[in-house]
């Protein structure tokens, strides 16, 4: 990646999430700045994915606001979308396309990072799989392809829901290294994971939605 992001701030102010008349969380506030990470923890059903979807702007909080550099993310619309990269619990890749075609498509939807598609595949240890149709990849390879989208687009804020799903120990190490480089470059991270996340940065805010 080899670039430094412009300083930015994400601020959640007293946000609440209600589902089926049940309050998952409320009065939740935190700030995320360059090089910082928010690790969202909690039991299944505690609202971890819902919180990330709120941070992405996919759904609105039932109370409170989310601000990016002082502006409400729902009013910034495309400007905020361009600053964020979301990889959900599901891979979100197109199974009928090749590995290379998936990354070309992903790059077309965001701001290109300048990294060659072939280099992104190599970084995710998918070199030689360029022309392989995604449906024929293993579960771990599909997950690494999904995460390779982060390398071909330039987004300061990565929002990752269970990024280590389907990955073996080596694959997890690969992604942790990618995340640490992103944070060292001044990127930002919001992540949920049932697996401990090996982050070099001591600047981590932990939010446990079960407490």
pLDDT at 1: 44
Mean pLDDT of 128-146: 97
Inside any domain, residue 189: yes
Mean pLDDT of the chain: 93
pLDDT at 7: 86
Inside any domain, residue 2: no
pLDDT tens for residues 54-68? 999 999 999 999 999
pLDDT at 24: 95
Inside any domain, residue 3: no
Inside any domain, residue 58: yes
Integer CA distances (angstroms), 58 to 81, 132, 162, 165, in order: 10, 31, 17, 21
Q: How many domains does the chain have?
A: 1
Residue 6: pLDDT band with limits 50, 70, 90: confident
Inside any domain, residue 4: no
Inside any domain, residue 198: yes
Q: Is the pLDDT of residue 40 over 90?
A: yes
| Rounded Cα–Cα distance for residues 149 and 21 (Å) | 36
Inside any domain, residue 129: yes
What is the edge-to-edge ordering of all strands in the sheet holding 188-192?
A: 84-87, 157-161, 188-192, 37-41, 204-208
pLDDT tens for residues 73-129? 988 766 898 899 999 988 999 999 999 999 999 999 889 999 999 999 999 999 999
Q: Give the number of other CB atoms < 10 A from CB of residue 70.
A: 8
Q: Is 176 helix (H, G, I), strand (E, B) or coil?
A: helix
Q: pLDDT higher for 180 or 89?
A: 180
Q: Give the number of other CB atoms < 10 A from CB of residue 78.
A: 7
Inside any domain, residue 42: yes
How many residues are there in the chain?
A: 211
Residue 82 near residue 111, CB atoms below 8 Å? yes
Residue 2: pLDDT band with limits 50, 70, 90: very low
Range of the structural domain that residue 69 is part of: 9-208
CATH of the domain at 149: 3.40.50.300
């Amino acid at each position: 990646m080899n670039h430094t992001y412009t300083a930015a701030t994400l601020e959640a102010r007293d946000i609440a999430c209600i589902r089926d008349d049940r309050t998952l969380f409320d009065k939740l506030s935190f700030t995320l700045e360059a090089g910082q990470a928010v690790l969202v923890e909690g039991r299944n059903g505690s609202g971890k994915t819902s919180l990330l979807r709120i941070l992405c702007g996919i759904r609105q909080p039932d109370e409170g606001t989310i601000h990016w550099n002082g502006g409400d993310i729902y009013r910034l619309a495309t400007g905020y979308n361009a600053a964020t990269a979301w990889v959900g619990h599901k891979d979100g890749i197109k199974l009928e396309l090749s590995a290379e075609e998936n990354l070309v498509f992903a790059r077309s939807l965001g701001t290109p990072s300048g990294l060659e598609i072939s280099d992104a595949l190599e970084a995710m240890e998918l070199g030689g799989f360029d022309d392989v149709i995604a449906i024929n990849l293993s579960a771990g390879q599909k997950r690494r392809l999904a995460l390779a989208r982060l390398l071909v687009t330039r987004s300061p804020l990565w929002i990752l829901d269970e990024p280590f799903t389907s990955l073996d120990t080596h694959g997890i190490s690969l992604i942790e290294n990618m995340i640490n480089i992103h944070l060292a470059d001044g990127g930002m991270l919001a992540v949920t994971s049932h697996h401990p996340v090996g982050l070099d940065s001591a600047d981590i805010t932990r939010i446990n939605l079960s407490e």
